[in-house]
A and B are shown apart, each in its own frame.
Chain A
Amino acid sequence: MGSPAMSTIGSFALLLALGLSGYSFLAGLLALFNRNAVSARLGETARRAGIAAFAAVLLAAIVLVIAAFNNDFSIAYIFHHSNRELPGAYKFAVLWSGQEGSLLFWSLLLAGYGFVLRLRYKTDQRLFAYASVIIASVQVFFLLILNFAARPFGIIQGGIPADGSGLNPLLQYPEMVIHPPMLYLGYVGFTVPFAFALGALIMKYPGEKWIHITRRWTMVTWCFLTIGVFLGAHWAYAVLGWGGYWGWDPVENASLMPWLTGTAFLHSVMMQEKRGMLKVWNMALIFATFLLSMLGTFLTRSGVISSVHAFAQSSIGTWFLVFIALTVAVCTYFLVRNRSHLKSEHKLESLVSRESSFLFNNLLLLTLCFTILWGTFFPIISEFVQGHKVTVGAPFFNRVAVPVALLLLLLTAVGPLLAWRKTSIESLKRNFLYPAIGAVAVGGMMILFGVRPWEDPSYFYATMAAILAALVIFTVISEFLRGGRVIAGKTDQNLLSAMVQLCHRNTRRYGGYIVHFGVALVIIGILGTPFNKEVEKEMGFGDKIFIGPYTLVCQSYTQDDNPNYGNEWAIINVFRGGKQITTMYPERRFYKASGQPQTLPRIYPSFLEDLFLVNDVYLVYEGKNETTGRPIIKAHLNPLVPWIWIGLIIMVFGTIVALVPNAVVVRVAATTPVRTPAHVGAGD
């Protein structure tokens, strides 16, 4: 049972954090405007206050977690999101399972990022001071909400209940312990490059150093967001039980939008680093990414748009709207006022160049982002104009976004083959010929195997996606092979170790290629969707379902009970070619505290039987027919889906490779005359 002390400590910690963050913001701001010894000391106190704010927010978060473990139902948040029999891991996850807790978690992560940033201030004291003040301002916003609008330590009215209402059953799944932290690390993380960018703009920071400083921050953040988005998709696949992983739900869209602009930023920022171009554009992109992260939180919290998994809705949407409007005003003001500082240093020399490929890549990513934003908000626009809402669901997004995504995939294949400044048509032909032949062959094979792209738009898109994904894979492989052969020829290594060395010499470039390879695998996983099959049937003992090459035989049903939930299982034997390959246990649970039922599908990926054309056998125990009393089983056969998750792992691996420092640094003494040409990256 709880004690009021926990609530008091938590509330005090949040109030203290607000005071410290407010001081960090105001004192830091004053210190930036005056350059004297007093201001320097004031700036230092602001930095330390920012660090102390992290300790205070951390204390508040720890108190909330302890309250969850202690079943302190005197705290309303704990009562609404936990219960006595909730397993320990989910009690920990209570921190981000509801409105107030997840805002506290947002604040904690932001304070954590700010803590690291403020410790590393010696890299560039003035730029870091600007970034610190901007982060403090965002922190103040979240702490204001936590202290006055969405209080996690609010006391329950009346007597203290004996047990809590329990956690939403949909959230009681192992991935929910890691999916929200990953997504939030991504959302919150974009505050750091945003803060550096805005700081650099305000102080008219010379050169591109702010980009170098934030490059790793941005990549790590992007990686977290990528993991978060995909884990969300996997959670939807493994928990919601409708056989799909992406439903274009507003909350899913909210996570995808900053990912798209963040991806555009990661590409276009290279143009600024290498060629001093697109400076205004990069500023606008990182501002947009931060704002879209905030918009995502607003969508999840405000309830302005109905969503299948907007778990925590309240009236704090107004707070977010005001904050977003203020941020837009500040960013626009400085962008206009200091635009002369952002003039491009070079001109574009050829349309067939890496620069123009980045431009078009950005255009397509932004179009995709706009399409999703437009589709997500169109119901509200429709209500305003027509007086009634309309639904903008999967059919709209699939029809509009898929063609743009295919163009983007084409650019993913072609872009890396283009050189900076100018590419000759001859070299393009030389680099492109074999990958193009391979990709066309893949398309031909699909038609040979019975896919008829002219019969149905979804088959057409699937065929195009297969061709383009193959093109991406073949261009990546050809790039590795070409570079690897050069190194192998010079160093007498075998090709594989030469390619590893190649990768190590220019981790960012080849890490990026690995990410592209992962993206192509994800696309391959998605293109199986039009070929999904499903069968629903009431199944008694010994009844069979035939789906694709599989025969599913109902062996039995069983029940179990534990303090948290009771459950029913179907025991289904899976046969292929007359041989039993596995047994699956689709399940239905009844959570006692919340009184809510939930189905838990079971998934069998057929890697052992099909190495490349892998299927997911996906079984859902839907419940019992009320009339006959017989259980209903729904079986899905989802081709290629496992490639999506493998693609994610490769994307993450590629990002990690890109984060590793280069192994070979070419050093030339400043006074030494150079008699031989300097080394340039292979394939450039």
Chain B
Amino acid sequence: MKTVASTQYSVPSDPIRRWLQASALALAVVVFMGAGDSAARFKDLGHRMMCACGCGQILLECNHVGCTYSDKMRDQLQAGLDKGDNDDLILQAFVQDYGPTVIAAPTASGFNRVAWIMPFVALGLGITFVIFVVRSWKNRPTPALADGIMIPHGSELDALRQKARKETDL
């Protein structure tokens, strides 16, 4: 009871709590905005985009001689960062300039979500299937035993031994 009481006392009144939450949110926003310096953000965003020249390489990894796009795109990315744009804004600007294929992976919105979900759906279905198969195998009835135990001899014993060897010696 004492603990409950102390907890109740420690909870701030509603306006104060709202102010605290708002401050924490603001702090978090500031912290996350400041997280990673410009060079790290440049590297991160540069690896989330493709070079638009058609070489099929990540923007920061495109190095083919005479590429007319990659330098321009890198400058554009750096300019966006210098301007203080957030990541979404920068990516959006690139999509407008170069089309949706400039983003190196499907976004997590709309139909593109399916791209991310399907592999895990497949894994889930696979696991369900394997469990189903294993259970059905385990539940399969074993052959009934004969009344008396027959001790195998001769070629029958050899066949059994051969089978045992086959099943145990990988």
**B19 CB–A CB distance under 8 Å:** no
Please report which residues of chain A, range 301-351, place their CB below 8 angstroms from some CB of chain B when the two chains form the complex.
Answer: 306-308, 344, 347-349, 351
What residue in chain A is nearest B101 (Cβ atoms)?
A391
Please report which residues of chain B, range 140-156, place their CB below 8 angstroms from some CB of chain A when the two chains form the complex.
Answer: 140, 142, 154-155
**A66 CB–B CB distance under 8 Å:** no
From A308, A399, A598, B57 is in contact (CB under 8 Å) with A308
Q: Which residues of B contact A623 (CB under 8 A)?
A: 65-66
Query: Which one of A69-77, A356-364, A637-645 is at the B interface?
Result: A356-364
B interface, how many residues as a size bin?
35 or more
- Closest Cβ of chain A: how far from B103's Cβ, in Å? 6
Q: Which residues of A contact B123 (CB under 8 A)?
A: 363, 367, 404
**B61 CB–A CB distance under 8 Å:** yes
Q: Is the CB of B101 within 8 A of A395?
A: no
Residues of A within 8 Å of B, CB-based: how many? 71
**B18 CB–A CB distance under 8 Å:** no
- Closest Cβ of chain B: how far from A346's Cβ, in Å? 8
- Closest Cβ of chain A: how far from B46's Cβ, in Å? 12
Q: Which residues of A contact B58 (CB under 8 A)?
A: 242, 247, 393-394
CA gap between A51 and B112 in the complex, in Å: 51
**A544 CB–B CB distance under 8 Å:** no
Q: Is the CB of A390 within 8 A of B100?
A: yes
Q: What is the 8 Å Cβ interface bit string for chain B, positions 70-111, against chain A (1 contact, 0 not)?
A: 000000000000000000000000000001111111110011
CA gap between A388 and B130 in the complex, in Å: 37
What residue in chain B is nearest A276 (Cβ atoms)?
B167
CA gap between A370 and B164 in the complex, in Å: 36
CB within 8 Å for A359 and B134 given contacts A367-B123, A378-B106, A668-B158: yes
Q: Which residues of B contact A389 (CB under 8 A)?
A: 100-101
Q: What is the 8 Å Cβ interface bit string for chain A, positions 358-379, against chain B (1 contact, 0 not)?
A: 0110010011001100110011
**A671 CB–B CB distance under 8 Å:** yes
Q: Is the CB of B100 within 8 A of A367?
A: no
Please report which residues of chain A, range 655-683, place their CB below 8 angstroms from some CB of chain B when the two chains form the complex.
Answer: 666, 668, 670-671, 673-674, 678, 680-681
What residue in chain A is nearest B139 (Cβ atoms)?
A347
Q: Is the CB of A671 within 8 A of B154?
A: yes
Q: Is the CB of B106 within 8 A of A396?
A: yes
CB within 8 Å for A395 and B47 given contacts A247-B57, A378-B115: yes
Please report which residues of chain A, range 215-253, place their CB below 8 angstroms from some CB of chain B when the two chains form the complex.
Answer: 241-244, 247, 249
CA gap between A306 and B55 in the complex, in Å: 9
From B57, B100, B119, B134, A356 is in contact (CB under 8 Å) with B134
Q: Is the CB of B154 within 8 A of A393?
A: no
Q: Is the CB of B101 within 8 A of A390?
A: yes
CB within 8 Å for A363 and B138 given contacts A392-B106, A674-B157: no
Q: What is the 8 Å Cβ interface bit string for chain A, positions 501-514, against chain B (1 contact, 0 not)?
A: 00000101100100
CB within 8 Å for A363 and B127 given contacts A242-B61, A670-B158: yes
**A190 CB–B CB distance under 8 Å:** no
Q: Is the CB of A274 within 8 A of B167?
A: yes
What residue in chain B is nearest A682 (Cβ atoms)?
B169
CB within 8 Å for A670 and B119 given contacts A274-B170, A391-B101, A597-B65: no
- Closest Cβ of chain B: how far from A459's Cβ, in Å? 14
**A684 CB–B CB distance under 8 Å:** yes
**B17 CB–A CB distance under 8 Å:** no
- Closest Cβ of chain A: how far from B42's Cβ, in Å? 13
Q: Is the CB of B170 within 8 A of A506?
A: yes
Q: Which residues of B contact A597 (CB under 8 A)?
A: 65-66
From B63, B102, B165, A678 is in contact (CB under 8 Å) with B165
**A616 CB–B CB distance under 8 Å:** no
Q: Which of B55, B99, B134 has the most CB of A within 10 A?
A: B134
**A297 CB–B CB distance under 8 Å:** no
What residue in chain A is nearest B55 (Cβ atoms)?
A308
Q: Is the CB of A360 within 8 A of B130?
A: yes
What residue in chain B is nearest A508 (Cβ atoms)?
B170
Q: Is the CB of A242 within 8 A of B100?
A: no
CA gap between A319 and B75 in the complex, in Å: 45
- Closest Cβ of chain A: how far from B163's Cβ, in Å? 10
Q: Is the CB of B55 within 8 A of A370?
A: no
- Closest Cβ of chain B: how far from A88's Cβ, in Å? 27
What residue in chain B is nearest A360 (Cβ atoms)?
B130
CA gap between A74 and B155 in the complex, in Å: 71
Q: Is the CB of B170 within 8 A of A684?
A: yes
Q: Which residues of A contact B119 (CB under 8 A)?
A: 367, 370-371, 374-375, 400-401, 404
CB within 8 Å for A620 and B63 given contacts A356-B134, A396-B106: yes
**B54 CB–A CB distance under 8 Å:** yes
What residue in chain A is nearest B103 (Cβ atoms)?
A391
A-B contact pairs, 9 of them (CB 8 A): A306-B54, A370-B119, A390-B101, A392-B105, A394-B58, A395-B48, A622-B63, A680-B164, A684-B170
- Since A359-B133, A393-B50 are in contact, a sample of 20 more A-B pairs with Cβ atoms closer than 8 Å, ordered by chain A residue number, is A247-B61, A347-B137, A367-B119, A370-B119, A370-B122, A375-B115, A378-B106, A382-B112, A391-B102, A393-B104, A396-B106, A420-B170, A421-B167, A508-B170, A634-B63, A671-B155, A678-B164, A680-B164, A680-B168, A684-B170
Q: What 5 A-B pairs have minimum CB-CB distances, sorted nearest first?
A: A348-B137, A396-B105, A393-B104, A308-B56, A395-B105
State the B residues within 8 Å of A (CB).
47-48, 50, 54-58, 61-66, 99-107, 110-112, 115-116, 118-120, 122-123, 126-127, 129-130, 133-134, 137-138, 140, 142, 154-155, 157-158, 161, 164-170
